[in-house]
């Protein structure tokens, strides 16, 4: 489990394409400080298992399903990624409950800068739109964020979606995560609040 509070921006060092998987080598000085084989690290919101650690570099294997359901497969050497170690049971929950299981991807549609923050609008796939509410929580590339706006466009976006949501980013988020530099058209990993999915399931079985 994670909290969606990104600890550092890491860098993809190498990407090895396998038959139905990929092996990523990632540099992250902070997250490797106490990491070992079998530990979980969220990479752009995807929970991955550490295979090996050498100095400040760790290696993870990414299976085919994860590659197809997230933006991980599109990353190459030099790409910056948001990194977070699994939450400790005795730590504060600074964000919200994040599983590291991507529900879908959305595309950055617009960025609107203000004096002290920036509003980013992201497309929202039909399959998960029902789980997203204004002032609720959503995870974008592993970042726990509050939904500041919701809407539906008259015409579909380039990725075929009509629904969108907005998040308002403070300077800290802009400077410490990849959302600070991600341009319009960038594909982001989305994870909705797991509580919403459990409530729906209970209602269906009730």
User: Which class would CATH give 104-205?
Assistant: mainly beta
pLDDT per residue, tens digit, the chain (206 aa), is 899 999 999 999 999 988 889 999 999 999 999 999 999 999 999 999 999 999 999 999 999 999 999 999 899 999 999 999 999 887 777 888 899 999 999 999 999 998 889 999 999 999 999 999 999 999 999 999 999 999 999 999 888 899 999 999 999 999 999 999 999 999 999 999 998 888 888 888 76
Indicate the domain borders of the chain.
8-85, 104-205
Residue 55 Rama label (left phi>0; alpha psi -120 to 50; beta): left
CATH number of the domain located at residue range(s) 8-85 in this protein: 2.40.30.20
> The pTM is what?
0.93
Cβ contacts of 60 within 8 Å, gap of 6 or more = 23, 24, 26, 41, 43, 48, 49, 50, 51
Fold matches, 8-85 and 104-205: yes
């Amino acid at each position: 489990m994670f909290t969606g509070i990104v600890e550092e921006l890491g860098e993809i060092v190498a990407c090895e394409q396998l038959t139905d998987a990929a092996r990523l080598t990632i540099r992250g000085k902070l997250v490797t400080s106490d990491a070992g084989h079998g530990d979980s690290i969220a990479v752009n919101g995807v929970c991955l298992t550490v295979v090996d650690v050498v100095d400040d570099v760790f290696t993870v294997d990414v299976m085919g399903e994860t590659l197809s359901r997230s933006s991980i497969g599109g990353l190459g050497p030099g790409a910056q990624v948001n990194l977070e170690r699994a939450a400790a049971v005795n730590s504060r929950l600074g964000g919200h409950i994040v599983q590291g299981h991507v529900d879908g991807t959305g595309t950055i549609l617009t960025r609107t800068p203000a004096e002290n923050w920036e509003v980013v609008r992201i497309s929202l796939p039909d399959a998960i739109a029902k789980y997203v509410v204004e002032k609720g929580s959503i995870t974008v590339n592993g970042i726990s964020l509050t939904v500041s706006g919701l809407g539906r466009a008259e015409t579909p976006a380039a990725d075929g979606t009509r629904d969108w949501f907005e998040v308002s980013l403070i300077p800290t988020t802009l400077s410490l995560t990849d959302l600070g530099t991600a341009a319009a058209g960038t594909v982001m990993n989305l994870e909705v609040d797991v509580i919403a999915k459990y409530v729906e399931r209970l209602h269906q079985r009730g």
